A and B are shown apart, each in its own frame.
Chain A
Amino acid sequence: MNTILKKETLSPSVKLYEIEAPLIAQKALPGQFVVVRIVEEGERIPLTIADSDPERGILTLIVQEVGKTTEHMGLLDEGMAILDVAGPLGLPSEIENYGTVVMVGGGIGIAPIYPITKGMKAAGNRVISIIGARSENLLFYIDKMKAVSDEFIITTDDGTSGIKGFVTDELKRLIDEGVKIDRVVAIGPTIMMKMVSEVTRPYEIPTIVSLNSIMVDGTGMCGACRVEIDGETKFACVDGPEFDGHKVDFDLLMQRQAMYIEQEKKSLECFRENLVHRI
């Protein structure tokens, strides 16, 4: 179970895994995630289901290496197995024919925005996608996103690919040009989702964001993932992860995400040290 059938490097710090998980693959809907644990001493981390193939029983996960667990995962090879994969978790994305939707994916957020974009297209929407990253070498899934979009825009902070600037600049441009937008879905770094929500707020364009709070179980049992929506406490893992961007307290989310920064650093250092010893 949970064997890695395929591993691919998408950018220096981003890897794609195809994992055998037939039961989850049959159920997975856009917007849902799994919780994985890769070794006995490991922590449980949430990862979005970037794609699923129920026929072959396969889940696609796209992982950005940012700390101990994701770096460790990067060392796993095809043929090896992931210890635990639980899911699919979270509420699926709301997908309907809204009219014109703008799909915004920033950095690793391109992975989770893809299945939702695919769904939006299949539901008959006119899909405008804006994907962005700091630099060209951090972009991935360009062809896949293009294939499910009517209009496709790339931005990079340094201008190495597409338009130089932020995804929010392009979103603002579309609005200024008078494009009638019925819904925006934005997934990426928390600060990006906050900025997108600020751009659409004055125009009252419904804006959905996917919150990546720190999680433990992912099933509503611990409250580690709590976020404030319109002043009310919600559990991102079961009440979300998608919420109305205009109601999210992003500053609280960013603070809470930084809760274990010290320990995360230590964990990564220990891990790298042990690796050196083993080699």
Chain B
Amino acid sequence: MAKIEPKKTAMPEQPASERIQNFDEVPYGYTEEMAIAEAKRCIQCKDPKCIEGCPVEIDIPGFIRLIAEGDFRGSVRVMKEKNLLPAVCGRVCPQEDQCEKFCVLGKKFEPVAIGRLERFIADWEARQGEAEIPKPAPPTGKKVAIVGSGPAGLTVAGDLIKLGHKITIFEALHKPGGVLVYGIPEFRLPKEIVFREVDYLQKLGVELITSFIVGRTKTVDELLTEYDAVFLGTGAGLPWFMFIPGENSKGIYSANEYLTRSNLMKAYRFPEYDTPIMQGKRVATIGGGNVAMDSARTALRLGAEESIVIYRRSKTEMPARDEEIEHAEEEGVIFNFLTNPVAYHADKDGWVKEIECIRMELGEPDASGRRRPVPIENSNFREPIDTVVVAIGNSPNPLVPATTPGLETTKHGTIVVDETTGRTSKKGVFAGGDIVTGAATVILAMGAGRVAARSIDEYLKTGEW
């Protein structure tokens, strides 16, 4: 057997100094040669541990073997058996905590670059032109309403349309895709990819109705009179604030607003697009997750001279993906660890001018196992700032639960479901994704969608609850 290359095949990308001037995607992706070379690093384990790390159980050695053999079309087919959105997952999955974490190569060397290969094969397919439209399944006469067009909703739609059910997706915003479109920036996930996948679903026969707010335009109970089942995939879209003095000053955004203005409304192309956004010179982003990294990197591209991340714990505890942190560092994002804002100070017109922070130290581990940050007394300091993005988390939007009698929720506002079926406390209503787990990941939302789709199909056949 040939000697194993210890490192992953590198993926070419835009140099940091160039890419902070544009919103184009950062990595270019593998060429065919690079993909084949990387695929050959996989030793095709008899007992492939990598699959255990993938929430949708993709046949990882299977699709990689076909890449190594140059049979890209075959590889696409293996991939699509389990994953409807490989172009998305290959880009945004936290692979280091999932498939790649379990790869046996990882014990001695770098693991196989499963995510990069997944992305390669999906992009390869897209370059071949229109995806094949499979023959439609014989209609079952059953109708399913899907609320929300994020990864959870899209997965349910894709699985159920193939079984012959009639599917309608209702989306509150004017564009489908959920966080994939309004939250994750173009430079990390080109919107084109998401729209292509949605387009494919529509070609399969899925009906998409945008600007339809369930709970307002129609309630879940009203949908239940027209549809045999309803799936709730409304995500965790309610932004948290810290409720500290001065937080409502001008120039202070939630990450949702900042990213929605930039991504969904394309404010980075103002005035060609109508929606404005603050182009701050010194921008502070509060938080340490993917959302914070996306915001801090967006700020640079909007022209910030300094983009500072303020995080109350240390680098080790940061929940953001390694790749995102690395990219942010390369681009010049400044990290201010063990620091927490306590107030904002504005000028007489209400514009934020200074951020007041306190230093923190790490104490005992908390429920999440991470060491709890504790403020250090009298360590307050102020720094000039002109834009702030609060990226400390999101919880589920209460609109659907509040307008749906009989739908059980937790004290965190998430919907209670049976994990193995996605069934809620209300007959005919299923749920999955961030609305159930709280803010999580794309692939977990898709996994939940898959589980729910299977059990919706069963319910439609048997009528048993």
- A residues near B (Cβ < 8 Å) are 23-24, 27, 37, 41-44, 68-69, 83-89, 216-217, 219-224, 226-228, 233, 238, 252, 255-256, 258-260, 263-264, 266-267, 270
Contacts and interface: CB of A to CB of B under 8 A. Distances in A.
B217 interface: yes
A224 B276 contact: no
Given A220-B399, A221-B239, A252 B350 contact: yes
Contacts of B250: 255-256, 258-259
Interface in B227-275: 237-239, 241, 243, 247-248, 250-251, 253-254, 256-257, 260-261, 265-266, 270-275
In terms of DSSP, what is the predominant structure of the interface of chain B?
loop
Interface stretch (B52-60, B207-215, B442-450, B456-464): B207-215
A69 B216 contact: no
B149 to A, nearest CB: 14
A267 B276 CA distance: 9
Contacts of A267: 270-271, 274, 276
Contacts of A84: 174, 210-211
Given A223-B256, A228-B248, A87 B274 contact: no
B37 interface: no
Given A23-B217, A259-B250, 15 more contacts: A27-B216, A27-B218, A41-B266, A68-B274, A69-B274, A83-B174, A84-B210, A89-B216, A216-B260, A219-B237, A220-B398, A224-B253, A228-B248, A252-B350, A270-B271
19 contacts: A23-B212, A68-B274, A84-B210, A84-B211, A88-B217, A216-B260, A219-B172, A220-B237, A220-B238, A220-B398, A220-B399, A221-B397, A222-B256, A223-B257, A226-B248, A256-B350, A263-B276, A267-B274, A267-B276
6 tightest Cβ-Cβ pairs between the two chains A and B:
A255-B350, A263-B276, A222-B257, A86-B211, A43-B274, A223-B254
Residue of B241, B261, B274, B399 ringed by the most chain A CB atoms within 10 A: B274
Contact of A238 (B173, B350, B399): B399
B216 A233 contact: no
A56 to B, nearest CB: 18
B256 A41 contact: no
Given A228-B248, A233-B241, A219 B213 contact: yes
Residue of B174, B237, B243, B398 ringed by the most chain A CB atoms within 10 A: B174
A264 B275 CA distance: 9
A44 B272 CA distance: 15
Residue of B248, B253, B256 ringed by the most chain A CB atoms within 10 A: B248
Given A221-B239, A221-B256, A255-B349, A85 B211 contact: yes
A214 to B, nearest CB: 10
B285 to A, nearest CB: 15
Contact of A43 (B238, B251, B275, B397): B275
Contacts of B275: 43-44, 216
B115 to A, nearest CB: 29
A236 to B, nearest CB: 12
Contacts of A223: 239, 241, 253-254, 256-257
Contacts, number: 111
Given A43-B274, A223-B254, A233 B397 contact: no
Contacts of A85: 211
Contacts of B174: 37, 44, 83-84, 86
A37 B349 CA distance: 30
Nearest to B258: A222
Contacts of B172: 86, 217, 219
Contacts of B237: 219-221
Contacts of A69: 274
A221 B238 contact: yes
Contacts of B266: 41
A44 B211 CA distance: 11
A226 B254 CA distance: 10
A166 B242 CA distance: 40
Nearest to A220: B397
A224 B243 contact: no
A30 B265 CA distance: 29
A27 B173 CA distance: 18
A89 B241 CA distance: 22
B265 A256 contact: no
Contact of B273 (A41, A83, A216): A41
Residue of B238, B270, B275, B349 ringed by the most chain A CB atoms within 10 A: B275
B270 A87 contact: no
A222 B239 contact: yes
A235 B237 CA distance: 13
Contact of A23 (B218, B273, B350): B218
Nearest to A36: B211
